Amino acid sequence: MYFVDCCEDNKSESCDIFDGEWVPDEDIPVYTNNTCRWIESHQNCMGNGRPDTGYIFWKWSPKACELPRFDARTFLGMMRDKSWAFVGDSINRNHLQSFICLLSQVEDAVELYHDPDYKNRKWHFPSYNLTVSVIWSPFYAKADIFEDINGVSSSEIELHTDILDKTWTEQFHTWDYVIFSAGKWFIKSAIYYENKSVLGCHGCNGKNNYTDVGFNFAYRKILKNVFKFILKSSPKNMIIFRTSTPDHFENGEWSSGGRCDRTVPANEGEFKMNELNRILREIELPEITKAEAEASEKGMKLKLLDVTPLSLLRPDGHPGPYRHFYPFAKDKKAKVQYDCLHWCLPGPIDNWNDLLMNLVVNG
């Protein structure tokens, strides 16, 4: 059996794999930037010149049981003739890259499709007839976004809370396994619509006298609609909802000089979730709990992948200034944009797939 049940009291109770700690790991990473060609440049910390490597030599260890590492060969064997999709934002795409890199150490993926911006892509593992897709849908719902490539907005996002994004809904029935994860984009300024009428807004500074109802209003409403759609659909899919992950900006934020220079995991309690991340989590957990219960009654598989607490302890795992290629090569004091939100590859995010395999095998 792949997973060892909790056995401290010799009872056959399932172990809480999300309750644990980061422990040193002497094993070298399964892949590197030289052995996986699917790492996007902004997460290629090694290739971009990050000088320390200690952040890759840790593994997540549940307190009450052993968590096996992701076994790509076993996983591929289980997934013969199956299809996977990662639906959500850029952090979900970050997770997808880790997933593809791990599998590609057994058989390199063949890319079947990408859109012009490389936000929607599809791969195939020929020997196993496994397809893996990534779908860009940061709100899960229809949204008109007015941003340039650097994330600079020319106007508020127009978000239709009652219309799910057909980019994923029209393909949903074709997938056997789907991972949903988003959240961060809801923090952006937006005008909310329902039945083509304005419901309110978030961060619109009184524009047109719209009522600021807060991003929590839209996130909760859309999550309810997502789960309603899933629960009405075919029960053949296994649905995994991954919680949103905290950032680790210190002394500022993304646009105000925030940094993340740590090189080791944080101690328990050292980092607290900021208010925005806390609100996201307070919305996600009750909604997924209700959806899980209803799915179970219908014989459907809907699982929670709760990576928030373990990710909170890894301020060392972000690209920081090494989202850029050798950022200090010409000037050691150069002012560069830090990324303390996404994750280095390889890095802590690879451990998410240990947890993912556990959910799939024991689901």
Catalytic residue among 247, 339, 350, 354: 339
- Parse the chain into domains and list their residue ranges: 29-362
Task: Give CA angle at 286 (281, 292), nearest 5°.
Answer: 120
Angular region, 151: left φ>0, alpha ψ -120 to 50, beta rest:
left
Q: What is the pLDDT of residues 94-120, one digit of tens each?
A: 999 999 999 999 999 999 999 999 999
**Is the distance from CB of 289 to CB of 259 less than 8 angstroms?**
no
Catalytic residue among 90, 181, 244, 311: 90
In this prediction, residue 352 has a pLDDT band, given cuts at 50, 70 and 90, of very high
What is the spatial distance between Cα 344 and Cα 323, in angstroms, rounded to a whole number? 9
Q: What is the pLDDT of residues 131-161, one digit of tens each?
A: 999 999 999 999 998 766 656 666 789 999 9
Q: pTM of the entire structure?
A: 0.93
What is the spatial distance between Cα 341 and Cα 248, in angstroms, rounded to a whole number? 7
Catalytic residue among 104, 318, 342, 354: 342
CATH superfamily of 29-362: SGNH hydrolase (3.40.50.1110)
Q: What is the pLDDT of residues 313-349, one digit of tens each?
A: 999 999 999 999 999 999 998 999 999 999 999 999 9
Task: Give CA angle at 163 (160, 164), nearest 5°.
Answer: 115
Q: Would residue 162 show up in a list of annotated catalytic residues for this protein?
A: no
Average pLDDT, stretch 195-203? 92
Residue type, 205: N
Q: What is the pLDDT of residues 214-272, one digit of tens each?
A: 999 999 999 999 999 999 986 778 999 999 999 999 988 887 889 999 999 999 889 88
Q: Would residue 95 show up in a list of annotated catalytic residues for this protein?
A: no
What is the spatial distance between Cα 146 and Cα 348, in angstroms, rounded to a whole number? 32
Q: Would residue 108 show up in a list of annotated catalytic residues for this protein?
A: no
